[in-house]
Amino acid sequence: MIIQLHKPKARMEELDFLKFVFITLMITFHLTYIGDTYPVAKRLVYTFHMPGFLLVSGYLFNVNKSWAAFRKTMIWIFIPYAVMESGYTVMASLLPIREHIDHLTIGVLIDHIFLHPMGPYWYLHTLMICGIFYYIAFKKPEGRFSSVLKQEKPLLPLKMLSWENQVLLGRFAFLTLFLWLLSHGLGLLSIANAAYFLIGVIIRHVVGNFRQAFPIQWWTVGLLVVWCIDPSHYDKASFAGACMVFLVIGSLLWLYQLGIPHPLRKLFLFIGRNTLPLLLFSPIFTILAKSYQSLLLRVDSTGITFMIISVLFAITGSYSITWIMDKTGASKLFFGKKGIVY
């Protein structure tokens, strides 16, 4: 057994396309009416959209940074996360939404920020925790310990592996143990979510090229359709659910390979590159969508028109907030950057 340590190539457009699909589905099924009206579709989408997002995140997460640079990255993820999670929690105590909080206290607020986030912000919570322990496990030793580590002889039971690959396996083992303890032992993470992030990390270090980890073939679409016929497969924490994530990603990569008209492709990739504003601000607009929901349902009782308009409303509204923040300089305080949309 030989494990090759690869580095991923420059930014792949396919990954932005995947992120576009997953974030759009997230917004769609955060519309309460759509989720309630199409529960089977919701179960199907929830099986793969955020697991796929976490897998891509694990692959893209950069741990080749100094402690100072990594700490800065985490701080500027935590600040917008904490602000929006706090706002969502307060809103949940004031509005009659599904996640309503009857008695809001400082303790409840702290619990939702640090332990049990609400709304879509759990993704950033999971990303930060997984990212921190990924960094710890894969941080390259420096100084005297680094030179000692290089001089150590390989362990006899693993003599068929190079020393570098033994070290890599050790890092994977530590990361797996960390994530298992955080999820199973402490309950800070979903075991399934941690596993999908870990799979992304493994693809990055073992396969290298994301495309090579998935069969980009026409038959993945047909197999996916057959797989989706059985609703018992709609569980991200099951082997069947993991197979669905695998087939969805392979099918989407194949569809992207077929070619998308340039204007749409440009739009899709822009959204895929800039998912953070949508993750942070789209809940504002999915809640506001309830104000015109009844009007649009009179026009189209299926809810499709309502869905399309609401998703567009959430996307344009989120980017409008970001644009205003960039222009006023608020992005520097909120994101640590003058502008985050590119």
Cβ neighbors of 146 (< 8 A, separation 6 or more) are 140
The pLDDT value recorded for residue 21 is 98
Q: Rounded CA gap, 119 and 123, in Å? A: 9
Cα→Cα distances 328→82, 233, 244, 332, 333, Å: 21, 48, 44, 9, 11
In contact, 133 and 178? CB cutoff 8 Å: yes
Considering the domain boundaries, does residue 255 fall inside one? no
In this structure, is residue 301 part of a structural domain? yes
* E strand or H helix at 194: helix 191-202
Q: What is the pLDDT of residue 3?
A: 43
- 3-class state of residue 142 by DSSP: coil
**Total residue count of the chain as it appears in this document:** 342
The tens digit of pLDDT for each residue in 101-133 reads 878 889 989 998 999 998 889 999 999 999 999
Look at the chain and report how many structural domains it folds into: 1
Distance CA 53, CA 196 (A): 9
Q: Where are the beta strands (DSSP E) in the chain?
A: none
Interacting residues of 67 by C-beta distance below 8 A, sequence separation 6+: 139
Domain presence at residue 294 = yes
- 185 in a structural domain: no
In a domain, 91, yes or no: no
Q: Which residues of the chain have pLDDT under 50?
A: 1-6, 8, 144-158
Report helix, strand or coil for 260: coil
- Do the Cβ atoms of 125 and 190 come closer than 8 Å? no
279 domain residue, yes or no: yes
- Residue 89, Cα to own-chain centre: how many angstroms? 21
**Please, what is the end-to-end C-alpha distance for the chain in angstroms?**
42
* pTM for this model (two decimals): 0.89
User: Is 21 contained in some domain?
Assistant: no
Burial 183-208 (b: 16+ CB within 10 A, else e): beeeebbbebbbbbbbbbbbbbbebb
102 Cβ contact partners less than 8 Å away, ≥ 6 residues apart: 93
In this predicted structure, what is the pLDDT of residue 6?
A: 47
332 within some domain? yes
Q: The domain containing residue 303 runs over which residues?
A: 275-342
